[in-house]
Amino acid sequence: MSAVVADFETELNTEEPKTFEPVKAFPETNTEQTPDGAFRRQRNLFPVRFGEGPGQYPAEPGRYRLLGSVSCGWCRRQLIAIRLLGLEEALPFVPLYGRDGAGWRISETQGDVVAKWGSDRLNSFYERTIPGFTGRGTSPTIIDIETGKVVTNSYHTIDLDLASVWRPFHKADAPDLYPEDLREEINLLNQQIFDDVNNGTYKVIFATNPQAARAALGIFEARLADYDFRLDSRRYLFGDRLTDSDIRLFQTLSSYERSYRPRLAAILGEDDVKHLTDFGNLWGYARDLFQHGFVDDRELYFLNLLPGPSGEYVQGQGFAEGIELPDAAEALAAWREPSGREQLAGSPLYSGPGSGGSFELWNLK
């Protein structure tokens, strides 16, 4: 067990002064709603890109810090990309934890952000960037460590920029997660994964209309069935080429059984919600990624698959709060069973999205 996990467990269990009210359960059900009771996620406040263009930030190793909660799938996506690309030193990660009415708290034991700026609140960096800011800072957020201002909180594009703009700083054997010849199709597939899978679980959980929740579940499970077929003859979503799209799909698959699904079943009924294991190819694909660098001890702890140094799990937090889960050790053992997918290759071509040349109609760069 790493010292990083030990620090996490200590911070999570440290009693802080009760200055602020705790976050009320699922505040999204009060704000991010359509008139017919469906969940519509809010936009990111800082959709800024890395690059050399107007208004963009240059890729400079050591200049920025990635702030995020390891319990947050949008953040874990960036951590996977950073690890696969070898950018750990170029873009240091500083954890967030303990969200309450004043927002996320920044770790004091990991990273240099609190020591340099004297604040352990993510919102203070948003306030420094936009005077009078009254919203909520989100995970993940990248800040400029020298100015103390927010650069971007767009989880839609951070990993794309890490795979492309930050290429000069990749390790020697880093995969090309965003190859130029597949970018248009990756962009469209990423949009589909976001709408139907990544955000699909939230559309069920945060819906205030039962019909909206059931419709969202139907789309979510249909999309899993689609990818299950796609992965029958392909090791990865684009054949033998590991891409950013695989990271995005894994983001949800890795936390599905011990976070999202328990809540979905509580809302819609145990017998009405499928398990990941009901999609054999998808389950094997997820195990393949799991066993090849897509998780570390820190993430296993927050995925409720590995205990902290005390022997305690984080079970009962987040969407699975108050729900009894299957044995964690058995669940971890299942993830470690051989996938048998190493010999698969397959074609990058698939029936959609983007087929018929439709990917040429969209500029999603």
pLDDT tens for 266-292 read 999 999 999 999 999 999 999 999 999
pLDDT band at 22 (very low <50, low <70, confident <90, very high): very low
In which residue ranges of the chain is CATH 1.20.1050.10 found? 180-361
pLDDT, one tens digit per residue, over 306-348 is 998 888 887 656 788 888 899 999 999 999 999 999 999 999 9
Q: How does DSSP classify residue 109?
A: S
Amino acid at residue number 78: Q
What pLDDT does residue 7 have? 60
In the prediction, which pLDDT does 75 show?
97
> In the chain, which residues fall in CATH 3.40.30.10?
32-169
Give the contacts of 231 (CB within 8 A, at least 6 positions apart): 237, 281, 282, 284, 285
Does the predicted TM-score (pTM) go above 0.75? yes
User: What is the model's pLDDT at position 102?
Assistant: 85
> Which has the minimum average pLDDT: 25-29, 67-71, 217-221, 347-351?
25-29
pLDDT attached to residue 12 = 57
Of the candidates 74, 72, 73, 107, the residue with the CA atom closest to the CA atom of residue 93: 107
Q: What is the CA radius of gyration of the chain?
A: 20
What mean pLDDT is predicted for residues 59-88?
97
State how far the Cα of 280 lies from the Cα of 296, in Å rounded to an integer: 24
Q: What is the spatial distance between Cα 278 and Cα 276, in angstroms, rounded to a whole number?
A: 5
Q: What are the φ and ψ backbone dihedral angles of 121, each rounded to 5 degrees?
A: -120, 130
Could you identify the residue written with the tokens 């990818």?
A: 227
The mean predicted confidence, pLDDT, of the chain is: 91
* Distance from C-alpha of 143 to C-alpha of 146, rounded to nearest angstrom: 9
Q: How far apart are CA 119 and CA 320, in angstroms?
A: 31
Q: What is the CB neighbour count within 10 angstroms for residue 360?
A: 9
Say what the pLDDT of residue 30 is: 66
Whether pLDDT at 9 is above 70 = no
More confident site: 125 or 100:
125
Fold of 180-361: Glutathione S-transferase Yfyf (Class Pi); Chain A, domain 2 (1.20.1050)
The 10s digit of each residue's pLDDT in 217-238 is 999 999 999 999 999 999 999 9
Q: Which residue has the tokens 């927002």?
A: 103
Contacts of 303 (CB under 8 A, 6+ apart): 254, 255, 258, 259, 295
Q: What is the pLDDT of residue 318?
A: 76
Predicted pLDDT at 135: 87
**Which of 128, 124, 194 minimizes the C-alpha distance to 155?**
194
The CATH architecture assigned to 32-169 reads 3-Layer(aba) Sandwich (3.40)
Q: How much is the pLDDT for 285?
A: 98
- Helices and strands (H and E) in the chain: how many: 14, 5
Higher pLDDT, 150 or 41: 150
